[in-house]
Structure formats: structure tokens, C-alpha cells
Amino acid sequence: MIIEEVKKELTGHIIPFWNKLRDDENGGFYGFMSYDLKLDKQADKGVILHARILWFYSKAYITLGDKTLLDNARHAYEFIKNHCIDYEYGGVYWMMNYKGEPADTMKHTYNIAFAIYALSCYYNASGDKEALELAYKLFHDIENNTLDEYGYREAFDRQWNLVSNDALSENGLHADKTMNAILHLIEAYTELYKADHNEEVAKRLKFQLGQMRDIVYTPETNALKVFFDTKFDLVGDIHSFGHDIEATWLMDLACETLGDEELKKQFAEMDLKISHNIQNIALDNGALNNERENDKIDKKRVWWVEAESVVGFINAYQHSGEKKFLESARSVWEYIKAEIIDKREGSEWYAEVSYDHKPHDWKEIVGPWKCPYHNGRMCMEVIKRGVDF
């Protein structure tokens, strides 16, 4: 059955691949492997990559109970704790060199959120209170340094002076605020709240959920807006299909973790509408298209978009009982097996595949954004939810 297939992919492919990237000489994990499977041991090491690796191994240990997974989580944790956190000015750096020295000292709300997500999950896996203390340190760094009267600013220099938000802007657009950052703050604060049910964290998490519901969500189209200026006026006309379906289950999880019945009801209804919309407009020939910009549909298939859609469709089925969502989840999983999983020895998943099934050979197998978090999490969510499809 599908659950067994997914578990085999996790334990027999994804985990063994990332195990081999552990850098025991300089700490952390190697930062880059090209499409042709050449490992660059002196490549810079992304802090987002390492936070996602820490989260991955921590959650894998919680899911599977294998002590070697906790050891790899601890290895990633030591790198983040000893190298990536800026103990002088707060936050985490954007990029380290291969030796663990700062290569880019930019502070980004999105990046810090992932560190909180990872440290909180590591605490939940290990019980190491130092990790929880560091998560709270970063929580306060965000809350004390990034807020303006409308919400969270995103990009700063090392000393928290605002800089251009190039890291999350794309498509030639400049955005001061993004749906993406708010979504991953929700994700991070959900994991932190799960650790010890702190009321201050709950309050800020509800604020972020409110922004998604009242500002980012568009009821007329059942879609999430993507880019904004400082006052949350819309920038550009982009619809990110992958972020929409990812957001549905992450927002539902946040409401369930908070235990707020009214929020659970509000978001279950909203997220189901978003899921229906994605199913109707983005599912194409068995997989999800990437996004729409103005009137143009980008039909490339991106590894994380496909992984998140499997979880999102299963989540929608669990909330609605509509079998069509399970059929959609299955079709995407079949596509992933056929086209996204790289069958070459020593590889993992392709980052992108064209609509006509050609892997994009200019996209790396491992890099600052190419990580085990989306596909590993998909596997673990399928196992946890126990819905065979």
C-alpha cells in the first residue's frame, strides 16, 4: 500500500542519501551537490538548509525511533548552535562558509523562523532544554526587531537595519512583505507552542493566522496573495499553487495545536476552499503546476510543490471525507515516483522537471534551498496520518 511505499522511500532512499552528506571535519552537512552528482565539500553552507536538516532528523527520530537519526540531529544542532547563531546582535546568519564562518551576515525573518522550527522540534525529540532556550531567544529576536505597525518586516543587515528583501522576492518584483514569511512564522511558532504551550507564543501565532485570514486570503478567488509592500498593498499578480496547498495543512495544524475551536472551524472552512481551488485549477496531468504570473501558467513540476500537495490533499480529505482528494494525492504520488524521484545511484529527488518530463539539469540536487524538509516531511505526514490512498 501507499504508506509502505512512502515509508520505504523515507528509510531506504531519503535518509541514507542525507546521511552521506554529514561533514565530520568542519561540522554540519555539505552544502552543495550539482545535478551531475558532484559533491562540493568547500561550498558555502546555507543556514536555511541546516535548519531544515535539523528539523528533518529530529522529526524522523520522533517518527521512527532510530537513535542514529537523533545523532545526526545533534550533529546539525551543534553546527547551528556553535556557528549560525549571532550571539552579539541576535538572530541567525544567512550563509556560512564550509568551515562554519559567516559568509553572509544578513538577518531574515524567514530564516530565523526556520531556526525556531528546527530548534523546537529538536527539543521535542531530545528533551535538550538548551535548544528550547535558543528557540525562545530567536523568538524574542524576531518579536523585538522585525515588527512595524502593520506586521513583520523581513530583511535586515547584521545589526537589524532594513535592507532590500531580495531573498524572497522573485519574478522581477520587489516585496517588502511576503505570504511566504508569514506562513513559515506560523509553522515555526506552532512547533514552539507545542514544546511548552507558552501564552505569548500563542498570542503571536493567532496574530499571524489573523493576517493570513484577513489580509493574505482572497475570498473571491479562494487564493492567497503572495507579495506586498510595507502596508500590505499588493505587489504583482502571482498565484503560487504550491504555497497555497502547503498553507492549508500548516494553518489547520496551527489551529489544532492551539486547541482554539473557533479558529479551527474558521480555518477548516477556508482551507478546504483553497484546496478545492488548487485541485480545480492547478492539478494538471497528474501533478501540480508551479504558479501563475499574470495570465501565464508556469507548468514546471517542482519537488517541494508536489510533496506539499500530497499532504495538502490528504489533509483536505481528512476534513471533508471527499474521496476525490485522495485520488488527487495518489495521482501526485504516482507522478513523484515516476518523474521526481531520481533513479540514479547516489542521488535523491530532482529539484524541477519540465511539463514534458525532462529534469532541469541546471538545478542542483543539494543546495541552500534543496533539502530533505519537504519530501521527508511528506513521508512522515503520510505515515503519521495513517490514511492509505
Q: Residues 67-126: pLDDT tens digits?
A: 999 999 999 999 999 999 999 999 999 999 999 999 999 999 999 999 999 999 999 999
* Count helices and strands in the chain by DSSP H and E runs: 13, 18
CATH architecture of the domain covering 2-385? Alpha/alpha barrel (1.50)
Mean pLDDT over each residue of the chain, to the nearest integer: 98
pLDDT tens track for 14-38: 999 999 999 999 999 999 999 999 9
CB atoms within 10 A of CB 369: 15
Does position 1 have pLDDT exceeding 90, yes or no? no
Mean pLDDT value of segment 193-213: 99
Which residues make beta-bridge pairs with 104? 95
What are residue 201's DSSP bridge partners? none
pLDDT for res 193: 99
40 vs 50: CA distance, rounded Å: 16
Domain ranges of the chain: 2-385
Its pTM surpasses 0.95: yes
What are 248-307's pLDDT values in tens digits? 999 999 999 999 999 999 999 999 999 999 999 999 999 999 999 999 999 999 999 999
Pairing outcome for strands 177-178 and 287-288: unpaired
pLDDT at 170 over 90: no
* Exposure on the CB side of residue 268, measured as CA atoms within 13 A: 14
Return the number of other C-beta atoms located less than 10 Å from residue 387's C-beta: 16
Q: At what angle are helices 261-281 and 303-320 packed, to 10 degrees?
A: 120
Cα dihedral sign, 309-314-319-320: positive
Instruction: Report the pLDDT value the prediction gives residue 172, as an integer from 0 to 100.
Output: 83
Q: Please give the share of the chain, as a percent, with pLDDT higher than 90.
A: 98
